[in-house]
Amino acid sequence: MSEIHPTAVVDPKARLGSNVCIGPFCYVDANVELGDGCVLRPHVTLLGPSTFGVNNEVYSHCTLGAAPQDLKYKGGPTSLVIGDNNIFRENVTLHRGTEVDRRSEGRTRLGNNNLLMVGVHVAHDSDIGNHVIIANQVQIAGHVRIEDCVTVGGSSAMHHFVTVGRNAFVGGMTRITHDVPPYMKVQGYIQEIRGTNVEGMRRWHIPDKSIVAVKAAWRLLYARRGEHAPGRTVQALREIENDGLVEDEHVRYLVTFLRRKLDVGIFGRVREYDRTDRPEDRAAFYEQSEMEPRA
């Protein structure tokens, strides 16, 4: 039996599952689909087109599914797609996609079993996987991809089009401007790799032998001087392959991730390679025939 507080505004065209709880002063738009068992705390705003799976919990003052803050957005019916069992703490915002990202097909996506803490912002066309923890006040720009089982420390910021590999750990107040390799710990203004995310790998039951192999790969890649040079990375990848470390599936994925970054990455971001927007998409904003006079 669903519970809808009398002060909530739910559009008659909204599609609600069973056992939904909608608290005081919430607003649910016509183009919203809310799955079974979802809970909206007071003062939540859901806009659409948006789809929410089952058992999502949304705390006060979240706004999910609003139009993107992007000049190339043309007002089309893009969407937000949310999976199951996610928790959105206070003041979280997620925006719908844009029409020009061929990867996202106009969708911003969030998978299953994620925790987004207070004040997190996820911008248009981003794609977040499963079992991701994003701490307070993290700012995620458009077109970002975060793979499964990643932890992001508070007050971090991510440049548009970056990818964070699975089981990575991003330290608090870190500035992410290029792709983060899987299984690594990164921290700081220059996004320095500080080691392997051993604790995170153990929590997700990655075998000890794989952890040892990933640590050996880390030593070849980053524990020497000149770790930021592309030529050094290519040499290290050859050493990893020649040493047979790629027989481990996790090392193999790390190598594949880094080779893709080297082969097609632009400014160190693989997703930039698939970028389809053009200057013309933003031209109307900058080429107004008459500028409004200042007050």
Active site positions, annotated: 124-125, 142
Which two tokens mark 9? 């505004």
Strand ranges (E), 26-124: 27-28, 32-34, 39-40, 45-46, 50-52, 57-58, 63-66, 79-82, 87-88, 93-95, 107-110, 115-116, 121-122
Strand ranges (E), 151-216: 151-152, 157-158, 163-164, 169-170, 175-176, 184-187, 192-196
Burial (CB < 10 A; 0-12, 13-18, 19+), residue 15, is middle
**Rounded-to-integer distance, Cα 37 and Cα 16, Å:** 10
Q: At what angle are helices 249-264 and 230-242 packed, to 10 degrees?
A: 150
- Are the beta carbons of 119 and 147 closer than 8 angstroms? no
Which two tokens mark 28? 């649910």
Q: What are phi and psi of 211, to 5 degrees?
A: -60, -45
